Structure 1
Amino acid sequence: MPGDSRLRLLTIYGGRVVTMHPAHTRADAILLAGGRVHTVGSTADVRAAARSLGTGHGEELHVPGACVLPGLTDAHVHLGAYGLQLQQLDLSGARSLDEVVALVAARAALVPSDEWLLGGGWDHTLWPEPRLPNRHALDAVLPNQPVALGRKDRHITWVNTAALLRAGIDWSTPQPAGGVIDREPDGQPSGLVRETAQRLVEEAIGDPPADVLEGALTRAQTALLQLGLTCVHAPDTPATYAALQDIHDAGELQLRVIFMPPASALEDLAARRMSAGWGSERLRLGHLKCFLDGSLGSHTASMLSPFEDEPDSTGIVITHPEALVPLLGRAAEAGFGLAMHAIGDRANRQALDAVAAANMQAVNRLLRPRIEHVQLLHQDDIPRLAELGVIASMQPIHTTQDMANADRYWGARSSGAYAFASLLRAGTVLAFGSDAPVEAPDPLAGLFAAVTRQRPSGMPVGGWYPQERISLAAAVRAYTAGAAAAAGLEHERGSLRPGAVADVTIIQPDIFGAPPEAMLEARVSHTIIAGEVVYAADWAHR
């Protein structure tokens, strides 16, 4: 890199630099210059490189006992939904139906009676009586104000009668393709809408005002930077993209965002000649997102054989095989890869069959297909991701949060659930994330889950299906180099090597060489994007 006295220089030293680059895996110090990595090596070599640029040492950041990592990426965050949920009614801590209803009643005092009361995060499987709720429980406290509460996985919305009326859902409303309106014995809607049926409620609610959405995204950005994240891959709505563009154009977007539009936007994007990679270093388009099935907890995952507790149900197919192959082809023609949401083993097989039929492994890196979640694979399908060049975009925190439900609903098939180690042995590229707001977007929690397959309590002893545990280095790679590969950006992101973008996450204390439990106590001290410190913890010393 040529010398330039105007370059912003930052030397980071005193900790363990973990580069995630195979040619030079560890170092003592790193020099960032002009938004790129300049030198990686000993502290003396890095300081000499800084002097050679004609500015003395520049700034220095001393991080004794820390690990210095390539900037961490969350490869699956619903950014708008995460930001909005930070200001809506949070039901994730409720442990009974009565507690949820009480929280809704209390929240009503803060929401005008003619406006929607919105919330989410409830999980009926944690209640003493783990039955799905209905509209009558909400009607008892709010008979006239519309209420819409998303289940934690965002695949079921629970509403009251007033909300059903606003959405125009009654006994005569037909079941939508790829969705279900749950019914009572007399045919009236029960108050639960699943998968694509949720759109009826979402259309009645409408998009949030632009200023509300921008405020939510700004709060989300602050939270994510504090967690050490320098980039997110964000499957979200066109309204969220418009709000991100406004934040970007105002110069207030610090976080790097790879935006993943819904597949329904394909023709509009193609008409505007927008394709993957379009945008800037901070905000650019990535893969198109489509849904093949639903979720585990909602019993809408698409299964090769029935759920253990519902012998007549194999879940819901949202995008059928005959539509998926042409969608892959049309997306590629328009310059997009496809990110396919697949939970159940049938959905994952459908995705792999479609990629094989479309010959998608021949396309360039920006169009490499991704499967989002890859939660359950038939053993025969585990090697196929690597064979077909499919990226496995997975969320390790789901492993420990969902394991009880997986055992209950999938039984012995769970040996193929969240199969990190098996996929790596087959040569699959893993990209890790959180699926926030479904789970908290804390990468340290995700690393712990991937390495131990335990909850913070240490249960289950030895880990759930411990043969699928992976090393800390492999887990960090999935949050860095793997995530960069999932976006087709491994040539410039995901490792600390000269010429790469100067995105860095610093964690104290060093989690390498320590027992896994150290990850539960470790904290992010600094988040650096393009060589600029965008977050420094109050307790961190420069």
Structure 2
Amino acid sequence: MADILLREARILNGSAGLTWVAVTGGSISAVGHHGEPEPPAERVVDLDGAVLLPGFVDSHTHLGWSAEDRWTINWSGTTTHDEALDSLRTVAARVTPGDWVTGGDWLPSSLPEPELPTLGELDQATDGRPLFLRSLDHSIAILNTVALQRARIDADTADPAGGRIERYDDGAPTGVLRGTAIWSRLAAGVVPPPNRARRLAELRDLLADLSARGITEVHDIATYPVEDRRTPIHLERSFTDLGLIDALAGELPLRYSFRPSIWRVDDYTGDVTAVQTSSPLITFAGFKMSLDNGWYSEPGGPRIDSFRYPGAEEAGRLGKRADAFGAALSIHAMGDLGVAEALDVLSGLPSRAGTALPPHRVIHARRVRREDVVRLAALGVAVEVQPWEIVAQGPVLAARGGDEFQSMLSPYRALLDAGVVVTIGSDRRLGLRVDQRDTDPLVAVQLAVTREGLQPEQRITVTEALACATTSGAIAAGAGGRRGKVAVGYDADLVALGDDPRELPPERIADARPVLTMSAGRLVFGGGER
């Protein structure tokens, strides 16, 4: 007897007609056509013609940052009252009742005080959650009624020296603070610092969002914190605390692969793939190194190195150390000259082309020289891309150089034609759009197909983009032989879409929303029973 039977599905790239898929013990145990005998199952889910494909793999994310971001108000680009209020409603609704809504970071010159929500609007938008927001220049803070009560700020509270509590005509506080009133124990001192309980709550909220987007696997930038010794400098940033993920092991709705900083490689001995975690869903995925934040051949000029890049010689030593463990190395390289140096470093390591080892990776690759496309293929190096960068950075980069330079910006078509494994990631982190649309895998697929008119010669097909968002992620994880296909013997990491993206207009591909997500054979989103 199967654990779950998915009926009336259309398998992407499968034979025409409706299909059933049986899942047993976390794997696909049988696949059959409509009308063929179905195995008995403990649970039956009728997909009613939904399109079934391998689960989406977010091959590049920062879950710790992203979880914090979902619960943080960011008005840095906000200029109007309605924008501010809409953003506040969206974020506050994610925060667990009783937890604080924090953030702010607006510039008073861009979002002037008359545009800020009123005390009544703050109260309505936060629905009983305390709120404390501070401007980027720290000149003003706003609190809602619950926060004022917790801070014991009322009509009888005196202004602190060097500060001011704004008041209505009757003396009641308006929720606006200035000067030392913001920083004193009167206000800021009441807001509890983020602790383990809050971080876990943020992550639970984020994980539910990932499942609703059809994501069954993430490759995070994460590490255990250094707690047993002092470090001479800050070696890492934006790395999720793996201890928090480990604490959620029993409730993880997806597969979680982590990549610590390459600066931690000397902390390891023996087989780093044997790092002990609390769940087989949590696995080691290699190390990450940052190289450049914008080193381009046009218009030329000084290189812009990234966080703690040690130079090619030391990078090569660290890479060889990682490779000796069998660990893959991911190198953050944005500009075409950065990509070239990343390949120089990786060429000093044994090629993984044609092997079962997870490939080394280049992250971002906003521009790639034609000769380096060939090198990527020859070395068996995968490329992690974030299609939203085409829209966000494409016009800026296009202005840097001529036709040839522009033609190889985010060159997905050239990479796939050369046989390079291209994976799609979100780069979820702090400061993205409040609706987090940029982090949605179906939006990424849409942008890879349409490119919104930018470098149209580098467009790829819907089928290719879906493969980059699903199958390629499994290959990058070294699991291409057991994940990334809807086939017998493969892991049951699946997503069902209400519409076939191939049948929608290109500009509406992202409308094909998930109706079911299954990770490691468990239904984690949707799935009404028959």
Provide the TM-score with structure 2 as the length reference: 0.72
Q: Which residue of 2 aligns with 1:484?
A: 474
1:500 aligns to what SS in structure 2? coil
Residue aligning to 1:139: 137
Contact 1:28 1:43 in 2 (8 A): yes
CA distance in 2, matches of 1:14, 1:363: 37
Q: 2:7 corresponds to which residue?
A: 13
Supply the distance in 2 between the matched residues of 1:92 and 1:504 (Cα, whole angstroms). 37
Partner of 1:238: 224
Contact 2:450–2:507 (CA under 8 A) maintained in structure 1: no
Alignment of 1:271-282 (within 5 A): 271=269, 273-275=271-273, 279=277, 280-282=279-281
* Conserved? CA contact 1:332–1:367, under 8 Å: no
- TM-superposed deviation, 1:243: 0.6
Q: Distance in 1 between matches of 2:525 and 2:499?
A: 17
Contact 1:395 1:434 (8 Å CA) reproduced? yes
Deviation of 1:335 (Å): 3.0
Residue 213 of structure 2 aligns to which amino acid in structure 1?
L
* Aligned counterparts, 1:414-493, within 5 A: 414-437=406-429, 438=432, 440-454=438-452, 463-493=453-483
Name the residue aligned to 1:149. Answer: none
Q: Where does 1:394-409 land on structure 2 (aligned, <5 Å)?
A: 394-409=385-400
Q: For the structure 1 residues 433 and 139, does the alpha-carbon distance in structure 2 shift closer, same or farther, using more than 3 Å as the test?
A: closer
Give the drift of 1:397. Answer: 2.1
Q: Is the 8 A contact 2:74 2:106 kept in 1?
A: yes
CA-to-partner distance for each residue in 1:298-341, whole Å, 9 max, x for gaps?
xxx1223446xxxx544235341112211211001133110000
* 1:211 alignment partner, one of 176, 183, 197: 197
Residue matched to 2:348: 357
TM-superposed CA distance for 1:405, in Å, is 2.0
CA distance in 1, matches of 2:25, 2:286: 29
Q: Distance between the aligned counterparts of 2:73 and 2:402, measured in 1?
A: 33
Q: Does 1:221 align with 2:221?
A: no
Helix, strand or coil for the counterpart of 1:64?
coil
Are 1:329 and 2:320 counterparts?
Answer: yes
Q: Secondary structure at the match of 1:382?
A: helix
**Quick check: 1:315 aligned with 2:301?**
no
Q: What amino acid maps onto 1:286 in structure 2? A: A
State whether structure 2 residue 372 is matched by structure 1 residue 381: yes
Distance, in Å, in 2 between the alignment partners of 1:92 and 1:496 is 43
1:275 is paired with a residue whose SS is helix
The reply to whether residue 69 of structure 1 matches residue 53 of structure 2 is: yes
From the CA coordinates, give the structure whose radius of gyration is larger.
Answer: 2
- 2: distance between equivalents of 1:75 and 1:335? 19
User: Given the superposition, is the C-alpha separation of residues 277 and 502 from structure 1 closer, same or farther in structure 2, using an over 3 Å criterion?
Assistant: farther
- Taking the aligned partners of 1:374 and 1:121, their CA distance within structure 2 comes to 32
Q: 1:518 to 1:138 in 2, by over 3 A?
A: closer
Distance 1:330 1:234 in 2: 21
Distance 1:363 1:212, change over 3 A: farther
> For 1:139 and 1:116, how far apart are their aligned partners in 2?
19
Q: State whether structure 2 residue 481 is matched by structure 1 residue 497.
A: no
Q: 1:41 to 1:92 in 2, by over 3 A?
A: farther
Q: Is the 8 A contact 2:491 2:520 kept in 1?
A: yes
Instruction: Kindly report which structure 2 residues correspond to 1:189-204, keeping only aligned pairs within 5 A, or say none.
Output: none
- The answer (yes or no) to whether the contact 1:392–1:431 under 8 Å persists in 2 is yes
Tell whether the 8 Å contact from 1:19 to 1:26 is kept in structure 2 after alignment. Answer: no
Q: Judging changes above 3 Å, is the alpha-carbon distance between structure 1 residues 260 and 95 closer, same or farther for their aligned structure 2 residues?
A: farther
- 1:363-400 deviations in whole A, cap 9, x for unaligned? 95445211111211122212211111001111122212
Equivalent-residue separation in structure 2 for 1:293 and 1:31 (angstroms): 47
Is the CA contact (8 Å cut-off) linking 2:471 and 2:480 kept in structure 1? yes
What are structure 1's unaligned runs of at least 5 residues?
A: 51-55, 128-136, 144-206, 295-300, 455-462
> How far did 1:515 drift?
2.4
For 2:368, give the aligned amino acid: L
Matched, 1:368 2:359: yes
Corresponding residue of 2:265 = 266
Mapped to 2, the partners of 1:508 and 1:541 lie a distance apart of: 16
Root-mean-square deviation (CA, aligned residues, Å) is: 3.7
Asked if 1:290 is matched to 2:289, the reply is yes
Change over 3 Å in CA distance of 1:281–1:31 after alignment to 2 = same
Give the % identical residues.
27
- Corresponding position of 2:167: none
Q: Residue 507 in 1 paired to residue 505 in 2?
A: no
**CA 1:34–1:374 in 2, change beyond 3 Å: closer, same or farther?**
same
How far apart are the structure 2 equivalents of 1:91 and 1:409? 30
Q: 1:541 Cα shift?
A: 7.2
Amino acid in the other structure paired with 2:409:
A
Q: Conserved in 2, the CA contact under 8 Å of 1:302 and 1:345?
A: yes
Once residues 230 and 510 of structure 1 are traced to their aligned partners in structure 2, the CA distance between those partners, rounded to angstroms, is 19
Task: Measure the CA separation in 2 of the matches of 1:405 and 1:222.
Answer: 35
2-side partners of 1:326 and 1:226: how far apart? 41
Task: Give me the whole-angstrom Cα distance separating, in 2, the residues matched to 1:504 and 1:258.
Answer: 18
Match status 1:392 vs 2:390: no
**Residue 246 of structure 2 corresponds to residue 253 of structure 1:** no
What is the Cα deviation at residue 350 of structure 1?
Answer: 0.5
Check whether the contact 1:75–1:434 (CA below 8 A) recurs between aligned residues: yes
**Letter paired with 2:415:** L
Q: 2:330 aligns with which of 333, 339, 345?
A: 339
| Deviation for aligned residue 1:291 | 0.1
Alignment correspondent of 1:186: none
Cα deviation digits, residues 164-212 of structure 1 (max 9, x gap): xxxxxxxxxxxxxxxxxxxxxxxxxxxxxxxxxxxxxxxxxxx953222
Q: Distance in 2 between matches of 1:41 and 1:262?
A: 45
Partners of 1:11 and 1:43 in 2: CA distance: 13
2-structure distance, mates of 1:367, 1:275: 12
> Is the CA contact 2:106–2:136 (under 8 Å) kept in the aligned structure 1?
no
* TM-score, scaled to structure 1: 0.70
1:220-265 per-position Cα deviation (integer Å, ceiling 9, x unaligned): 10110111111111013435211101111xx111221111111122
* Mapping 1:37-76, distance limit 5 Å: 37-45=28-36, 47-48=37-38, 50=39, 56-76=40-60
Which of 293, 302, 305 is equivalent to 2:295? 302
Query: Quick one: structure 1 residues 25 and 321, their matched pair in 2 at CA, closer, same or farther if it must change by over 3 Å?
Result: farther
The structure-2 alpha-carbon separation of the partners of 1:16 and 1:518, relative to structure 1 and needing over 3 Å to count, comes to farther
Deviation at 1:417, TM superposition (A): 1.2
Structure 2 CA distance, aligned partners of 1:138 and 1:35?
48
Q: For the Cα contact (< 8 Å) 1:31–1:39, is it kept in 2? A: yes
Indicate conservation of the 8 Å contact 2:501/2:509, yes or no: yes
Which residues of structure 2 form unaligned runs of 5+? 112-134, 142-192, 226-240
One-letter amino acid of the structure 2 residue matched with residue 376 of structure 1 = R
Q: CA deviation at 1:95?
A: 5.5
Distance 2:105 2:411 in 1: 29
Q: How far 1:67 moved relative to its partner?
A: 0.8
1:522 CA drift (Å): 2.0
- Say if 1:333 and 1:353 are closer, same or farther in 2 by CA, change over 3 A: same
SS of residue paired to 1:517: helix
Cα distance in 2 between the residues matched to 1:499 and 1:121 = 52
Offset at residue 289 of structure 1 (A): 0.7
